[in-house]
Amino acid sequence: DTGVSQNPRHKITKRGQNVTFRCDPISEHNRLYWYRQTLGQGPEFLTYFQNEAQLEKSRLLSDRFSAERPKGSFSTLEIQRTEQGDSAMYLCASSYLSRADTQYFGPGTRLTVL
Amino acid sequence: GDSVTQMEGPVTLSEEAFLTINCTYTATGYPSLFWYVQYPGEGLQLLLKATKADDKGSNKGFEATYRKETTSFHLEKGSVQVSDSAVYFCALSDENSNYQLIWGAGTKLIIKP
Protein backbone atom coordinates (compact mmCIF):
# COMPACT_ATOMS: atom_id res chain seq x y z
CA ASP A 1 0.00 0.00 0.00
CA THR A 2 1.88 3.02 -1.28
CA GLY A 3 -0.83 5.56 -0.59
CA VAL A 4 -2.53 7.99 -2.94
CA SER A 5 -0.14 9.82 -5.25
CA GLN A 6 -0.72 12.96 -7.31
CA ASN A 7 1.28 14.54 -10.08
CA PRO A 8 2.48 17.13 -10.55
CA ARG A 9 2.82 18.52 -7.05
CA HIS A 10 2.98 22.06 -8.33
CA LYS A 11 1.81 23.63 -11.56
CA ILE A 12 2.19 27.23 -12.65
CA THR A 13 0.39 28.24 -15.81
CA LYS A 14 -0.76 31.33 -17.64
CA ARG A 15 -4.40 32.29 -17.85
CA GLY A 16 -6.10 30.62 -20.78
CA GLN A 17 -3.88 27.55 -20.86
CA ASN A 18 -5.12 24.00 -20.28
CA VAL A 19 -3.75 21.89 -17.44
CA THR A 20 -4.13 18.22 -16.52
CA PHE A 21 -3.52 16.59 -13.16
CA ARG A 22 -3.16 12.91 -12.39
CA CYS A 23 -4.18 10.90 -9.34
CA ASP A 24 -3.16 7.32 -8.62
CA PRO A 25 -5.37 5.92 -5.85
CA ILE A 26 -4.58 3.14 -3.42
CA SER A 27 -4.80 -0.05 -5.43
CA GLU A 28 -8.16 -1.84 -5.19
CA HIS A 29 -9.94 1.26 -3.93
CA ASN A 30 -13.19 1.47 -5.88
CA ARG A 31 -14.01 5.08 -5.17
CA LEU A 32 -12.00 8.13 -6.13
CA TYR A 33 -12.86 11.70 -5.16
CA TRP A 34 -11.59 15.07 -6.31
CA TYR A 35 -11.71 18.11 -4.00
CA ARG A 36 -10.47 21.68 -4.30
CA GLN A 37 -9.01 23.65 -1.39
CA THR A 38 -8.38 27.38 -1.44
CA LEU A 39 -6.20 29.13 1.09
CA GLY A 40 -7.69 29.26 4.56
CA GLN A 41 -10.68 27.12 3.65
CA GLY A 42 -11.69 23.51 3.97
CA PRO A 43 -11.78 21.39 0.84
CA GLU A 44 -14.88 21.41 -1.36
CA PHE A 45 -16.15 18.44 -3.29
CA LEU A 46 -15.76 18.46 -7.07
CA THR A 47 -16.61 14.99 -8.34
CA TYR A 48 -16.30 11.29 -7.62
CA PHE A 49 -15.95 7.97 -9.45
CA GLN A 50 -16.98 4.49 -8.56
CA ASN A 51 -14.65 2.31 -10.58
CA GLU A 52 -14.66 3.94 -14.05
CA ALA A 53 -18.07 5.60 -13.74
CA GLN A 54 -18.31 9.26 -12.81
CA LEU A 55 -21.35 9.26 -10.55
CA GLU A 56 -21.61 12.83 -9.32
CA LYS A 57 -20.31 16.27 -10.15
CA SER A 58 -20.64 19.33 -7.96
CA ARG A 59 -22.89 22.06 -9.26
CA LEU A 60 -19.92 24.32 -8.58
CA LEU A 61 -17.91 22.51 -11.24
CA SER A 62 -17.57 24.65 -14.34
CA ASP A 63 -17.89 23.15 -17.83
CA ARG A 64 -14.18 23.91 -18.19
CA PHE A 65 -13.45 21.07 -15.78
CA SER A 66 -13.50 17.46 -16.88
CA ALA A 67 -12.40 14.31 -15.14
CA GLU A 68 -11.87 10.74 -16.27
CA ARG A 69 -10.99 7.44 -14.70
CA PRO A 70 -10.32 5.02 -17.54
CA LYS A 71 -10.35 1.36 -16.50
CA GLY A 72 -11.14 2.33 -12.95
CA SER A 73 -7.52 2.91 -11.98
CA PHE A 74 -5.84 6.33 -12.14
CA SER A 75 -7.84 9.49 -12.73
CA THR A 76 -7.14 12.74 -14.54
CA LEU A 77 -8.62 16.17 -13.92
CA GLU A 78 -8.37 18.65 -16.77
CA ILE A 79 -9.06 22.35 -16.58
CA GLN A 80 -9.47 24.14 -19.89
CA ARG A 81 -8.91 27.85 -20.42
CA THR A 82 -7.67 28.37 -16.88
CA GLU A 83 -8.66 31.47 -14.95
CA GLN A 84 -6.98 33.09 -11.97
CA GLY A 85 -9.86 31.93 -9.80
CA ASP A 86 -8.84 28.33 -10.51
CA SER A 87 -5.71 28.78 -8.40
CA ALA A 88 -6.06 26.30 -5.55
CA MET A 89 -4.88 22.98 -4.18
CA TYR A 90 -6.52 20.07 -5.99
CA LEU A 91 -6.87 17.03 -3.77
CA CYS A 92 -7.57 13.44 -4.67
CA ALA A 93 -8.84 10.81 -2.24
CA SER A 94 -9.76 7.15 -2.54
CA SER A 95 -11.71 4.61 -0.54
CA TYR A 96 -13.11 1.12 -0.64
CA LEU A 97 -16.74 0.94 -1.67
CA SER A 98 -17.49 -1.12 1.44
CA ARG A 99 -15.86 1.53 3.65
CA ALA A 100 -16.75 4.56 1.64
CA ASP A 101 -16.85 6.83 4.67
CA THR A 102 -13.08 6.58 5.16
CA GLN A 103 -11.12 8.39 2.49
CA TYR A 104 -7.35 8.58 2.14
CA PHE A 105 -5.87 11.69 0.60
CA GLY A 106 -2.98 12.34 -1.70
CA PRO A 107 -0.55 15.25 -1.17
CA GLY A 108 -2.42 17.45 -3.64
CA THR A 109 -1.48 19.46 -6.72
CA ARG A 110 -1.06 23.17 -6.15
CA LEU A 111 -2.15 25.17 -9.19
CA THR A 112 -1.15 28.78 -9.68
CA VAL A 113 -2.70 30.64 -12.59
CA LEU A 114 -0.86 33.84 -13.51
CA GLY B 1 -27.80 20.78 3.26
CA ASP B 2 -25.24 19.29 5.61
CA SER B 3 -22.65 21.62 7.11
CA VAL B 4 -19.78 21.76 9.60
CA THR B 5 -18.77 24.69 11.77
CA GLN B 6 -15.54 24.76 13.72
CA MET B 7 -13.91 27.36 15.88
CA GLU B 8 -11.82 29.95 14.15
CA GLY B 9 -8.11 30.05 14.64
CA PRO B 10 -5.39 30.44 15.12
CA VAL B 11 -5.36 28.77 18.50
CA THR B 12 -2.08 29.40 20.30
CA LEU B 13 -1.11 27.28 23.31
CA SER B 14 1.97 26.52 25.32
CA GLU B 15 3.45 23.03 25.28
CA GLU B 16 1.68 20.61 27.67
CA ALA B 17 -1.50 22.70 27.71
CA PHE B 18 -4.95 21.16 27.31
CA LEU B 19 -6.48 21.48 23.85
CA THR B 20 -10.10 21.77 22.77
CA ILE B 21 -11.16 22.59 19.23
CA ASN B 22 -14.91 22.90 18.90
CA CYS B 23 -16.85 21.40 16.02
CA THR B 24 -20.60 21.32 15.47
CA TYR B 25 -22.54 19.96 12.54
CA THR B 26 -25.92 19.94 10.88
CA ALA B 27 -27.04 16.88 8.95
CA THR B 28 -30.31 15.41 7.80
CA GLY B 29 -29.15 11.80 8.12
CA TYR B 30 -26.79 9.92 10.42
CA PRO B 31 -23.33 11.04 9.37
CA SER B 32 -19.92 9.73 10.22
CA LEU B 33 -17.68 12.38 11.76
CA PHE B 34 -13.98 12.91 11.23
CA TRP B 35 -11.01 14.97 12.26
CA TYR B 36 -8.28 15.40 9.67
CA VAL B 37 -4.92 17.06 10.25
CA GLN B 38 -2.76 18.91 7.74
CA TYR B 39 0.85 19.50 8.74
CA PRO B 40 2.74 22.29 6.98
CA GLY B 41 3.53 21.33 3.40
CA GLU B 42 1.79 17.97 3.67
CA GLY B 43 -1.52 16.41 2.63
CA LEU B 44 -4.58 15.71 4.73
CA GLN B 45 -4.29 12.82 7.17
CA LEU B 46 -7.17 11.12 8.90
CA LEU B 47 -6.68 11.67 12.61
CA LEU B 48 -9.75 9.96 14.04
CA LYS B 49 -13.35 9.16 13.27
CA ALA B 50 -16.64 8.12 14.86
CA THR B 51 -19.50 6.52 13.00
CA LYS B 52 -22.42 6.66 15.44
CA ALA B 53 -23.70 8.52 18.46
CA ASP B 54 -21.63 8.21 21.66
CA ASP B 55 -18.70 6.66 19.79
CA LYS B 56 -15.31 8.01 20.81
CA GLY B 57 -12.58 8.26 18.22
CA SER B 58 -8.99 8.42 19.44
CA ASN B 59 -5.49 8.52 17.98
CA LYS B 60 -2.09 9.91 19.02
CA GLY B 61 -3.52 11.22 22.30
CA PHE B 62 -6.37 13.06 20.57
CA GLU B 63 -10.00 12.20 21.33
CA ALA B 64 -13.42 13.25 20.10
CA THR B 65 -16.86 11.99 21.10
CA TYR B 66 -19.86 11.95 18.75
CA ARG B 67 -22.57 13.84 20.64
CA LYS B 68 -25.87 13.59 18.79
CA GLU B 69 -27.80 15.60 21.37
CA THR B 70 -25.54 18.62 20.92
CA THR B 71 -24.53 17.81 17.30
CA SER B 72 -20.91 18.20 18.28
CA PHE B 73 -17.59 16.43 17.78
CA HIS B 74 -15.05 18.47 19.74
CA LEU B 75 -11.38 17.53 19.48
CA GLU B 76 -9.40 17.28 22.73
CA LYS B 77 -5.88 16.46 23.82
CA GLY B 78 -4.63 16.49 27.37
CA SER B 79 -1.08 17.70 26.76
CA VAL B 80 -0.07 19.18 23.42
CA GLN B 81 3.40 19.15 21.91
CA VAL B 82 5.13 21.50 19.50
CA SER B 83 4.83 18.76 16.88
CA ASP B 84 1.01 19.04 17.07
CA SER B 85 1.19 22.41 15.33
CA ALA B 86 -0.94 22.00 12.21
CA VAL B 87 -4.33 22.81 10.73
CA TYR B 88 -7.17 20.63 12.00
CA PHE B 89 -10.31 20.02 9.95
CA CYS B 90 -13.60 18.64 11.16
CA ALA B 91 -15.67 16.86 8.51
CA LEU B 92 -18.69 14.67 8.03
CA SER B 93 -19.86 12.20 5.44
CA ASP B 94 -23.26 10.73 4.88
CA GLU B 95 -24.58 7.86 2.80
CA ASN B 96 -27.28 10.20 1.46
CA SER B 97 -24.62 12.35 -0.21
CA ASN B 98 -22.53 9.44 -1.49
CA TYR B 99 -20.00 9.89 1.31
CA GLN B 100 -18.55 13.08 -0.13
CA LEU B 101 -16.86 14.84 2.76
CA ILE B 102 -18.33 18.11 4.02
CA TRP B 103 -15.66 20.18 5.72
CA GLY B 104 -15.24 22.88 8.28
CA ALA B 105 -12.97 25.79 7.47
CA GLY B 106 -10.09 24.43 9.53
CA THR B 107 -8.46 25.60 12.76
CA LYS B 108 -4.78 26.45 12.81
CA LEU B 109 -3.08 25.28 15.99
CA ILE B 110 0.20 26.84 17.09
CA ILE B 111 2.06 25.29 20.01
CA LYS B 112 4.84 27.35 21.57
CA PRO B 113 7.67 25.67 23.47
pLDDT single digits (tens) A54-92:
999 998 788 999 999 998 899 999 999 999 999 999 999
C-beta atoms of B101 and A45 within 8 A: yes
Nearest to B100 among A33, A106, A107 (CB): A33
Residues with Cβ < 8 Å from A42, sequence gap 6 or more? Answer: B4, B89, B91, B103, B104, B105, B106
Q: Calculate mean pLDDT across residues B34-50.
A: 91
Nearest to B93 among A91, A101, A108 (CB): A101
Would you state the pLDDT for residue B85?
A: 97
Residues in chain B: 113
Is some CB atom of chain A closer than 8 A to the CB atom of B106?
Answer: yes
Q: End-to-end alpha-carbon separation of chain B, Å? A: 41
How far apart are the CA of B16 and the nearest CA of chain A, in angstroms? 26
Nearest to A42 among B45, B51, B103 (CB): B103
Q: What is the mean pLDDT of chain B?
A: 93
C-beta atoms of A100 and B99 within 8 A: yes
Would you state the pLDDT for residue B105?
A: 93
